Amino acid sequence: PQRGEALLQVDAVRKEFGGLVAVNDVSFEIRAGDIMGLIGPNGAGKSTTFNLVTGVLPLTRGAVRFRGEAVGGLPSREIARRGMSRTFQHVKMIPEMTVLENVALGGYLRSSSGTVKAMLRLDRAEEKRLFAEAEAQLKRIGMAEQMHELAGNLALGPQRLMEIARALCTDPALLLLDEPAAGLRHKEKQALAEVLRQLKREGMSILLVEHDMDFVMGLVDRIVVMEFGTKLIEGTPAEVQASPVVRAAYLGT
Ligand code: ADP
Ligand code: MG
C-alpha cells in the first residue's frame, strides 16, 4: 500500500452479546504507514473490536473495509490472506518445539492451505521455504540468537516477539497486536517498542491494542480511546493527553 492511503476503514461497527453492547457503533480509519493505538480500561471493548476487524467474530452491524474492499462477514482466514495479521492476547505456542519451529508452524497455519494434516504432507521444497521465511522474520526482529532454543524456555518478552515473527510470516499489510506489552518488564517493553518502531520505519502499518498508556504514547501516530464499548475520542497522543474527557474517564484526574 502507498503511505497515507486509507488501509483500514472501520465504519460504525457494533457487537452485542445478548443484551450487552460490547462495541457500540465504533468508527476509525488507519492510514498506511501509521501506528494506531486502541486504548481503554478492561472491558472497554478493545479485543472485541479487534475480533470484529479480523473476522474472528461476526458483526452485529456496521462495515469493515480493508484496502478499499468490504471484508465484514468474510472468514478470518480469508481476511488474513488479504493482508491482515494478528497476535492474540495470550501467547499460543508449543513449548517443546524450538522458536524457529514455532514460527514456521505459525506461519504455515496462517497461510491459506494451512491445516496440521496438510503440513504432514508438505514436500521438502515447501518445508524449506517455510523455515527460510521463519528464520528471516526472526532475524528481522533481532531474535537470531534464540532461534534454536525451546519456545517454552523463553521469557515473556521474547515470547511476544516470537508471536510477532509468526504474524509477519504471511507478509501482512496491517499488523494487529492485542496487548503485546502486558506483563512485560520495563526492559522488555523497551525492546518491543524498538521492534515496532523498526517495523514502522520499514513501512508497516500497525493497530496496537494496549493498556499501558506510557507505552502507547511514545509509539503511536494516533489513538482511539474506548470506554464501555464506545469511542470516547480520537487524536494524536498530545491531543488525547490534553483532552478533559480522557483525563476524567481514563486518567482519573
Ligand atoms: P477489552 O479487550 O477492552 O478488555 P473486551 O472486548 O474483551 O474488552 O470485552 C468487552 C465486553 O464484552 C466485556 O464486558 C466482556 O465481558 C464482554 N465480552 C467479550 N467477549 C464476550 C463473549 N464472547 N461473550 C459475552 N460477552 C463478551
Ligand atoms: Mg482485551
Domain ranges of the chain: 1-83+172-253, 93-171
- Name the residue at shortest CA distance from atom 21 of ligand 1: 17
How does pLDDT run across 132-153, given as a tens digit for each residue?
999 999 999 999 999 999 999 9
* Structure confidence at residue 253 (pLDDT): 53
Say which residues have a Cβ less than 8 Å from residue 106's Cβ, sequence separation at least 6: 93, 163, 166, 167, 169
Q: What is the mean pLDDT of residues 82-99?
A: 88
Nearest CA owner, ligand 1 atom 14:
43
Amino acid 48: pLDDT: 96
The protein residue whose alpha carbon is closest to atom 17 in ligand 1 is 22
Give the distance (Å) from ligand 1 centre to CA of residue 45: 6
Q: In the predicted model, is pLDDT for residue 116 greater than 70?
A: no
pLDDT value of residue 73: 85
Q: What is the pTM of this model?
A: 0.92
Question: What residues have CB less than 8 Å from 164, skipping those under 6 apart?
Answer: 87, 141, 175, 177, 180, 195
Question: Which contiguous run of DSSP H or E holds residue 244?
Answer: helix 244-246
Q: Which of 14, 15, 20, 224 should be mutated for ligand 1, with most atoms under 8 A from CB?
A: 20
What is the average per-residue pLDDT within 104-115?
75
Q: Which three cell numbers stand for residue 35?
A: 501506528
What is the pLDDT averaged over residues 16-36? 97
Q: Is the pLDDT of residue 157 over 90?
A: yes
Percent of the chain with pLDDT over 90: 71
Planar angle of CA 185, 189, 190, nearest 5 degrees: 120
Task: Cell numbers for 167, please give them.
Answer: 504474524
- Mean pLDDT of all residues belonging to the chain: 91
Q: Give dist(CA 5, CA 95) in Å, integer.
A: 40
Stretch 162-171: mean pLDDT, rounded? 94
Looking only at the bridges linking them, the beta strands covering 6-17 and 61-66 are antiparallel
- Report ipTM (2 d.p.): 0.98
**Cβ of 22 less than 6 Å from ligand 1:** yes
* Confidence at residue 121, expressed as pLDDT on a 0 to 100 scale: 73
Is the pLDDT confidence value at 25 over 60?
A: yes
What pLDDT does residue 112 have?
Answer: 59
Can you tell me the mean pLDDT for 202-208? 97
Class of 1-83+172-253 in CATH = alpha beta
Sequence-separated (6 or more) residues with CB below 8 Å from residue 206: 34, 35, 36, 174, 175, 176, 177, 196, 199, 200
Q: Is the CB of 84 under 6 A from ligand 1?
A: no
> Does 46 contact ligand 1 (Cβ within 6 A)?
yes
Q: Which value, to the nearest 10 degrees, does the dihedral of the CA atoms of residues 233, 235, 236, 242 take?
A: -50
pLDDT (0 to 100) of residue 90? 74
DSSP string, 113-177: T--HHHHTT--HHHHHHHHHHHHHHHHHTT-GGGTTSBGGGS-HHHHHHHHHHHHHTT--SEEEE
R_g over Cα of the chain: 18
For the segment 178-200, what is each residue's pLDDT rounded down to a tens digit?
999 999 999 999 999 999 999 99
Which residue's alpha carbon is at the smallest distance from atom 22 of ligand 1? 17
Q: How confident is the model at residue 250 (pLDDT cuts 50, 70, 90)?
A: low
Would you say 64 and 71 are in contact if contact means Cβ atoms under 8 Å apart?
yes
Q: Is the CB of 53 under 6 A from ligand 1?
A: no
